[in-house]
Amino acid sequence: MDLEPADFGIPETTELPLHAEHARKVAAVLDSPLDPQDGDPLPALWHWTFGTPTAPTRDLGPDGHPRIPPGGPAEGLPRRMWAGGRGRVLGTLTLGTTPVRTTSILRADRKQARSGALMVVTVEHRLTLDGATLLIEEQDLVYRAQGAPVPAPEGTHREPAPENGWTEELVRTPVDLFRFSAITFNSHRIHYDHAYATTEEGYPALVVHGPLSALTLAESVRTRTGRELTAFSFRATAPLFVDLPFTLTGSPAAEENTYDLKLVRNDGRPAMTATARTTG
């Protein structure tokens, strides 16, 4: 069956006006020292905060996300998450320009897992400007049924620094989550509504955004190496929760200009793994 982005409530084409003012807000949220101005290159993955969904409030579901189209392939699977992705930078996204994002559905697999029914949808985005492709990425989106309550991670694990690598101890606060929701126009209630997250969706606390975690890893590489990213892939393996510590680690991989990255929770369980490639 051929599927279209509209089957999942995703627009096929979206303009991304890369305003420097918004980029400065992104820098503030990420505690970046950058002061973005028109004409500057947009750092890797920051494009996620542009061209975000603008569904009217009346079209949002009880979770704060745009409603899943009735009768669509994901009907009956109300819980959504961004589970991973891969991207290649082919050109420079420049502030003050307006690239166009074209979206297609590469594949969608509905299956039965131990946690219940789910559908894994892989979406491709291509960002182009004046006929040139600047970035290609795939995003793995998971739609699933309501599951069992998620226990809070317990423990005081601190992941040691890998050989020739680095480590950072981090905690995400409610303010971090609120500000990231604001710059991405993300009204999913698991990120800011404690009562909803715990009572309705069964989480022990507010959930840290997956894209925020991925951006944290990418920024760590850019800051540590002074180089821009040319490719990035990540996979979320467990949720992170507000006010609970976690460890970021990074280290050079076997391939030149490539780094292995990881976020590890306070119970020792990896929450996200990633690989980044940089300019030479």
Is the pLDDT confidence value at 189 over 90? yes
| CATH number of the domain within which 165 lies | 3.10.129.10
Confidence grade of residue 145 (pLDDT, cut at 50, 70, 90): confident
Digit-coded pLDDT (tens) for 9-49: 899 999 999 999 999 999 999 999 999 999 999 999 999 99
pLDDT in tens, 235-262: 999 999 999 999 999 999 999 999 999 9
- Please count the helices (runs of H) and the strands (runs of E) in the chain: 4, 10
Residue 151 has pLDDT above 90, yes or no: yes
Specify the 3-state DSSP secondary structure of 199.
helix
Work out the average pLDDT over 85-108. Answer: 97
Over its C-alpha atoms, the chain yields an Rg (Å, rounded) of 18
- For the chain, the domain total comes to 1
Neighbours of 240 (CB within 10 A): 27
pLDDT of residue 112: 82
Q: What is the pTM of this model?
A: 0.95
Distance CA 3, CA 106 (A): 8
pLDDT tops 70 at residue 1: no
* Phi, psi angle pair for 198, to nearest 5°: -85, -40
Q: Which domain holds residue 91?
A: 5-278
Cite the DSSP H helix spans in 131-275: 174-183, 194-195, 210-225
∠ CA 59-111-71, rounded to 5°: 30
| pLDDT greater than 70 at residue 63 | yes
